[in-house]
Structure 1
């Protein structure tokens, strides 16, 4: 397993171009299973999760041609696809459950392994199964597989999600596109990545509209050929904004719509960052001294993103005071705390709340990654630590951040990948 060696402290300068969104690309790629006609997806990020999804689609029979830089996928499902998704392909990625909706909607059956992914909480798939069942799917769970079928076309209905759920909202929207009649989804998650999925489907002739957290899908018989460019990754952009705030940085962040991280930029201004936005660019300067914020809570969009919680915690460690973070999305998302303590952080955790004692003087140490976003928080902490840090198991990072060491080197971080 590869690892990173980082020599700190760093003071970062320069420009970072944001890659395509992983969390947007995955449902869009899954939705291509609905098509018989050619689809071109552009601005894909070059990360492991995208490779996994492409391999999964190919295993189902999708014909996929990737450009040399792997950012553009031409997909054409000329023949009837397979409906079996094996454990070997699904085990590493929670997002693989997103092929269930389109397979049931198009082929009326599917056998898919229960998915894997980061160990950050239960992330139950029952919301996916319950909503698809209301559309007409029946299923059994056997030997670690979901064995599902429907009696012909799914049928539009009204579904109210018991809680906000990104994945189940996406799966239900995809499945409802080819259903008979109209589907109304209430209490939907409204993350920008979900809106990107519906924009993609509408570009191919789907009839999807939004009013607040209610999504209306009028079923159609077939989708048209389309070309679509995936939105930029808001979590990557947010991560580099935190990095600039943390390391007295002076960064230009480009190829990104700043509006979708307004909440997080407002937070960073409270920490002392100076931020200007212009069209698809963010100009951000970090403060000499980081101010503390007493209480921060993660929340569904448009609240503070859970995927930026661990990065913000590093900022709080360096802030001039004591504060707390309450994690409201995932119940097991403080696994980075033990590793931050190895660098010298003073953090107490009780249930879903972390109390952070600021003015930490990070000292380099050997660290272990536990999940995707926790991994990047360790990179940020190592970046502002005194001395050398080694971060092990960085395959987690490779799942969601494209060429992160190259982007960090370019702005002044002393980082190198050690091949194992």
Structure 2
């Protein structure tokens, strides 16, 4: 198994270019099932999850080939109604093919999804939406089946603003007859990017980015060319890395609007931030103060940056409170940080983080994608060497993390 060796590094200094968003490109790739004609997707991140989704849509019947950072996808009439189990179990986002297949073929069979073990992520809201559109749902033996003679628009209220359910229901409603109103919808930038992509293909979606999305059904979608938005979680991770090492790093290819929650918290922690048109300069040379963090659906502080933020707060001055409201099992990085000397006490969904003078390197395990990133960041400031295992999780969500950190001065290498 490969692992990352991280040594205490000097303050990071230089430029990091952010890759395309993993969480945006995966639903967009699933949405290609809806289209007739060729689609060109630009700035595609080279990630394990993207490769799995590529294999998934190929297996379903789409034609796929790549050229550098571009991905070319062509819809066909030979769309299969079942997604392969061995791919579904590898990737949570694979469940997003259910809505498009149901819309296109009128029936679909798919296994319950896998992905990072960070807490309960039931598919009930997805299925509630499909039922409201007229589908009949059968469940059993780890599979979900849905079929409908014709999907029809309806008013759907989500009990929680689930990103995946919002995306899946929106895609299912694209080819439905009539108008669908999706209330209490998630507002994440990735949903806006998906809606923009669908509209470029001929869909009629308005309201994405608000809690009420209106979808007017159309008969078919055409091909298009689309550039995926930058990855706000990758950008936030490197912003935190710059801050906690006391460095000064320019983060380029970012959407400033998407980063407001992390900018606000870093500023509150005493980090100097300069914002330009499509770049952010993060200067952590003044040190880090304690802050309280509560994760919330967008535009609140993202749960995907909570572990990295906790790594930073473990060396901040004073005591911080971190409250996780999105996933109940997203403190798996805490025992690993404590192995490195962090002073963290968990009380239910809250963590009390007392800043310490120094962390100490240790062998630690990446229990999930963002936990792995947090441990790498902790290793950058820890005395002695840190060895991060199970780094396949990190490769699922970060394009060449080692290389990007190396180019700004980090002492990090990957070994067998």
- TM-score, normalised via structure 2 length: 0.98
What secondary structure is seen at the aligned counterpart in 2 of 1:241?
helix
Deviation at 1:366, TM superposition (A): 0.4
What secondary structure is seen at the aligned counterpart in 2 of 1:85?
coil
What secondary structure is seen at the aligned counterpart in 2 of 1:318?
coil
Deviation at 1:204, TM superposition (A): 1.0
The match for 2:73 is: 75
Cα RMSD between the aligned structures? 1.0
Q: Could you tell me how far apart the structure 1 residues matched to 2:103 and 2:311 are?
A: 44
Q: Does 1:347 align with 2:314?
A: no
Deviation at 1:292, TM superposition (A): 1.1
The match for 2:19 is: 19
Alignment of 1:383-394 (within 5 A): 383-394=380-391
Give structure 1 stretches of 5+ with no counterpart: none
Alignment of 1:42-53 (within 5 A): 42-53=42-53
Q: Could you tell me how far apart the structure 2 residues matched to 1:220 and 1:17 are?
A: 38
Q: Could you tell me how far apart the structure 2 residues matched to 1:413 and 1:230 are?
A: 28
Give structure 2 stretches of 5+ with no counterpart: none
Q: Could you tell me how far apart the structure 1 residues matched to 2:111 and 2:415 are?
A: 33
The match for 1:225 is: 223
The match for 1:258 is: 256
Q: Does 1:396 align with 2:393?
A: yes
What secondary structure is seen at the aligned counterpart in 2 of 1:311?
helix
Contact 2:119-2:327 at 8 Å conserved across structures:
yes
Question: In the TM superposition, what whole-angstrom CA distance separates every residue of 1:24-81 from its partner, at most 9, and x where no partner exists?
Answer: 00000000000121111111100000000000001111100111x2x21111123321
What secondary structure is seen at the aligned counterpart in 1 of 2:234?
helix
Q: Does 1:326 align with 2:323?
A: yes
Task: Report the more deviating stretch, 233-242 or 249-258.
Answer: 249-258
Q: Could you tell me how far apart the structure 1 residues matched to 2:10 and 2:46 are?
A: 26
Q: Could you tell me how far apart the structure 2 residues matched to 1:231 and 1:289 are?
A: 31
The match for 1:202 is: 199
Deviation at 1:322, TM superposition (A): 0.7
Deviation at 1:314, TM superposition (A): 1.1
Contact 1:30-1:57 at 8 Å conserved across structures:
yes
Q: Does 1:128 align with 2:129?
A: no
Q: Could you tell me how far apart the structure 2 residues matched to 1:219 and 1:288 are?
A: 54
Deviation at 1:257, TM superposition (A): 1.3
Match of 1:358 among 355, 374, 399: 355
Contact 2:271-2:287 at 8 Å conserved across structures:
no
The match for 2:235 is: 237
Deviation at 1:250, TM superposition (A): 0.7
Contact 2:129-2:169 at 8 Å conserved across structures:
yes
The match for 2:299 is: 302
Deviation at 1:176, TM superposition (A): 0.6
Q: Could you tell me how far apart the structure 2 residues matched to 1:134 and 1:120 are?
A: 29
Q: Could you tell me how far apart the structure 2 residues matched to 1:2 and 1:119 are?
A: 21
The match for 1:6 is: 6
The match for 1:270 is: 268
The match for 1:86 is: 84
The match for 1:287 is: 285
What secondary structure is seen at the aligned counterpart in 1 of 2:314?
helix
What secondary structure is seen at the aligned counterpart in 2 of 1:387?
coil
Deviation at 1:360, TM superposition (A): 3.9
What secondary structure is seen at the aligned counterpart in 2 of 1:88?
helix
What secondary structure is seen at the aligned counterpart in 1 of 2:64?
strand
Contact 1:272-1:287 at 8 Å conserved across structures:
no
Q: Does 1:37 align with 2:34?
A: no
What secondary structure is seen at the aligned counterpart in 1 of 2:167?
helix
The match for 2:154 is: 157
Deviation at 1:359, TM superposition (A): 2.4
Q: Could you tell me how far apart the structure 1 residues matched to 2:400 and 2:261 are?
A: 26
Q: Does 1:169 align with 2:152?
A: no
What secondary structure is seen at the aligned counterpart in 2 of 1:75?
strand
Question: In the TM superposition, what whole-angstrom CA distance separates every residue of 1:288-325 from its partner, at most 9, and x where no partner exists?
Answer: 421111x2211110010000001110111111101110
Contact 2:343-2:356 at 8 Å conserved across structures:
no
Q: Does 1:314 align with 2:338?
A: no
The match for 2:62 is: 62
Match of 2:103 among 86, 102, 105: 105
Contact 2:23-2:190 at 8 Å conserved across structures:
yes
Q: Could you tell me how far apart the structure 2 residues matched to 1:26 and 1:358 are?
A: 37
Q: Could you tell me how far apart the structure 2 residues matched to 1:376 and 1:360 are?
A: 21
Deviation at 1:287, TM superposition (A): 3.0
Contact 2:61-2:76 at 8 Å conserved across structures:
no
Q: Does 1:369 align with 2:361?
A: no
What secondary structure is seen at the aligned counterpart in 2 of 1:162?
coil
Contact 2:20-2:45 at 8 Å conserved across structures:
yes
